[in-house]
């Protein structure tokens, strides 16, 4: 009898350990990062003149407008990857492949640790106005926030490769968007702090 109870408890523990759904804490973190990065980004692009929007610290550096355009292109791609992931077959090795990567993303992305070359698809072209960027950002963010609030899909059992971090699960792709935006909010601040930035 005792052995049967022990085996049942062990089985339950295994199921809980392998639960691929967001925990309440993970959902809270995702929604908090989404809101914090939204406020930061909108504040960073608010009230800029056309000169400030287009000014570049150097010929090979992005302007505030280009960083902002990169953010909306990247977020669209990151959320599309979440949807692509959950439309694919579950990855039975998701735990092993993605273990510790949530912590890595939090440690590396938002604090702007290291530099990375943007993929061609999300390199800005410099053709959007602040109003256009704001509208697209708000529209996209509303969809991401609704998804993060409502979904009960076992996100973590679906994986898609990332060019820098290897396989990431659906939850990690979901939080990638706000953490990546926080990273570029800091880049915008760097542009504004560069000598020669229009006042």
Tens of pLDDT, residue by residue over 87-138, are: 999 999 999 999 999 999 999 998 777 677 777 778 888 889 999 999 999 9
What does the alpha-carbon distance between residue 174 and residue 171 come to, in Å, rounded to a whole number?
5
Write out the residue range of the structural domain in which residue 32 sits: 22-193
- Taking residues 19-29, report their average pLDDT: 96
Q: Is residue 26 part of a domain?
A: yes
Q: pTM to 2 decimals?
A: 0.87
Proportion of the chain in helix, strand, coil states, percent, rounded to 5: 65, 5, 30
Over residues 69-80, the pLDDT tens digits come to 999 999 999 999
9 located within any domain: no
Residue 15: pLDDT band (50, 70, 90) is very low
> How far is the CA of 21 from the CAs of 40, 103, 144, 176, 182, in angstroms?
28, 17, 17, 17, 25
Flag whether 102 is in a domain: yes
| Residue 122 located in a structural domain | yes
Domain count, the chain: 1
pLDDT at 33: 97
Which residues, other chains included, contact 114 with Cβ-Cβ below 8 Å and sequence gap of 6+? 108
Over 60: is that where the pLDDT of 140 sits?
Answer: yes
Residue 13 belongs to some domain of the structure: no
- Does residue 159 sit within a domain? yes
Is the confidence at residue 142, as pLDDT, over 80?
A: yes
Q: Is a pLDDT exceeding 90 seen at residue 187?
A: yes
At 154 the pLDDT is: 97
Question: What average pLDDT does range 167-193 have in this prediction?
Answer: 96
Distance CA 116, CA 107 (A): 15
> Rounded CA gap, 176 and 102, in Å?
9
């Amino acid at each position: 009898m005792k052995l049967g109870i022990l085996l049942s408890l062990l089985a339950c523990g295994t199921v809980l350990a392998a639960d691929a759904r967001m925990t309440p804490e993970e959902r809270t973190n995702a929604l908090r990062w989404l809101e914090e990065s939204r406020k930061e980004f909108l504040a960073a692009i608010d009230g800029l003149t056309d000169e400030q929007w287009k000014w570049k610290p150097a010929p090979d550096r992005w302007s505030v407008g280009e960083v902002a355009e990169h953010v909306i292109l990247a977020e669209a791609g990151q959320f599309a990857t979440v949807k692509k992931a959950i439309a694919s077959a579950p990855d039975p090795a998701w735990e092993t492949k993605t273990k510790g990567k949530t912590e890595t993303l939090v440690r590396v992305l938002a604090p702007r640790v290291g530099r990375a070359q943007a993929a061609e698809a999300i390199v800005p072209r410099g053709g959007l106005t602040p109003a256009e960027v704001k509208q697209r950002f708000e529209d996209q963010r509303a969809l991401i926030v609704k998804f993060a609030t409502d979904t009960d899909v076992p996100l973590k059992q679906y994986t898609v490769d990332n060019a820098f971090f290897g396989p990431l699960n659906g939850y990690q792709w979901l939080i990638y968007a706000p953490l990546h935006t926080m990273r570029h909010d800091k880049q915008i601040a760097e542009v504004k702090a560069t000598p020669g930035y229009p006042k």
